[in-house]
Amino acid sequence: MGFALLLIVVAVLGLSACESIGFYSQVVKGHSQIMLKRESIDRVVKKESTDQELRRKLSIIKRARLFAVETLKLPDNGSYTQYVDTGRPYVVWNVIATKPYSIHPIEHCFPVAGCVSYRGYFKKAAAEAYAEKLKAQGLDVIISGASAYSTLGWFSDPVLNTMLYRSDLGLAGLVFHELSHQQVYKAGDTAFNESFATTVELAGAKVWAASHEIGQQDLAKYKQAKSRSAEVVKIILEQRRKLGEAYRKIDPKDTQKLAEIKKQGFAELREAYKRLRIKGGGSKGYDKWFAGTLNNASLVLFGDYHGWVSAFDELLKQSQGDWPRFYESVAALAKMNKEARRKRLEELTSSYSGEF
């Protein structure tokens, strides 16, 4: 999630508001602490004291990074050549908020990186304090822990302990995802950026598996997990669309009706997931998500990360698997104004007929 670049750049430029100074100070401090703890992956792997599983996973990441550069033609720099143990389960905690009857996030805008749909904190307590402040304003709010973030090539992003819970294929995919942010990034369009990176992640992992003799059982598990997730995301995005349409049809002053629509919408979402679970879909992770408190903010990141994946899949298909050609097409989309870009992405989504 590429918020580090925008926050660090703005902090360097300097701001006058006390709240802003405090916010950016924690970002600079948090990021700096991570950078100061970096250690060469080669060195960590060679150390006798290194845990065998950590050594194995770092070796996978090292190979995945080389594959990303040589095969996927992603940027070749110092990113993911170093390791940091943050000592915590997430590297940052992102606060996402919406108005009580809107599916659109409250955006935070900065020079260079533009507007994003979340605000990140390196300490959970700070994220919780900001979330409470937003809740007091009547907004829908969630806090989402992130295992990684990208500085878009401005710094050499390290591998973090928070990334390592993934499967072997998942680790490779994460490297592809984060390096994609350094390949193409459109300031102010989170959905575009994250959907593009997700497409590279999934397509890249598929190519990686085919060329690295990944066991059929492991590959099947990876595909099944991704398929299950895609099914859940589909019903979430559909309900998000329905809620958005329903909200727009109601007079903004009729909060009672809006509240009823909202309650009904989330009840329908839970019921849809229940039906999917009965059919064998879903997962324990999503069980936990659906059992928690759901609100409009809960739906935001699903749109950001998956909303245009089919469009980018179609673009990759049209590029016939030629990665540089694909990136050129994505870069061309990034140069369009937002309305034209959205129209083109909708056209690509309509044209999508399956994997390349």
Same domain, 343 and 225: yes
Residue at 356 is within a domain: no
Please give the average per-residue pLDDT across 313-331, as a whole number: 96
Over the stretch 252-280, which tens digit does the pLDDT of each residue have? 999 999 999 999 999 999 999 999 999 99
Same domain, 208 and 321: no
Residue at 195 is within a domain: yes
- Answer yes or no: are the C-beta atoms of 126 and 155 closer than 8 Å: no
Over the stretch 62-78, which tens digit does the pLDDT of each residue have? 999 999 999 999 999 99
State how far the alpha carbon of 180 is from the alpha carbons of 49, 174, 188, in Å. Answer: 33, 10, 16
- What's the pLDDT score for residue 135? 97
**Domain end residue (candidates: 156, 180, 214):** 214
Same domain, 195 and 245: no
Same domain, 40 and 109: yes
Report the distance separating Cα 331 and Cα 90, nearest Å: 31
- What's the pLDDT score for residue 270? 97
**Domain end residue (candidates: 214, 238, 262):** 214
Please give the average per-residue pLDDT across 150-158, as a whole number: 84
Residue at 163 is within a domain: yes
Residue at 300 is within a domain: yes
Q: Among residues of the chain, what percentage have pLDDT more than 90?
A: 64
Report the distance separating Cα 349 and Cα 351, nearest Å: 5
Same domain, 236 and 148: no
Same domain, 34 and 137: yes
Residue at 210 is within a domain: yes
Residue at 63 is within a domain: yes
Same domain, 232 and 317: yes
State how far the alpha carbon of 196 is from the alpha carbons of 179, 237, 283, in Å. Answer: 11, 17, 25
- How much is the pTM? 0.82
Please give the average per-residue pLDDT across 129-147, as a whole number: 95
More confident residue, 117 or 247: 247
Number of domains composing the chain: 2
Same domain, 50 and 31: yes
Residue numbers of the domain that contains 321: 217-351
Same domain, 282 and 205: no
Same domain, 136 and 163: yes
State how far the alpha carbon of 290 is from the alpha carbons of 4, 32, 154, in Å. Answer: 29, 36, 37
**Domain end residue (candidates: 198, 214, 230):** 214
Report the distance separating Cα 188 and Cα 115, nearest Å: 4
Over the stretch 165-179, which tens digit does the pLDDT of each residue have? 988 888 999 899 989
- Positive or negative, the Cα torsion across 313, 318, 320, 321? negative
Same domain, 208 and 222: no
More confident residue, 5 or 215: 215
- What's the pLDDT score for residue 9? 40
Report the distance separating Cα 238 and Cα 244, nearest Å: 10
Please give the average per-residue pLDDT across 207-226, as a whole number: 77
Same domain, 42 and 187: yes
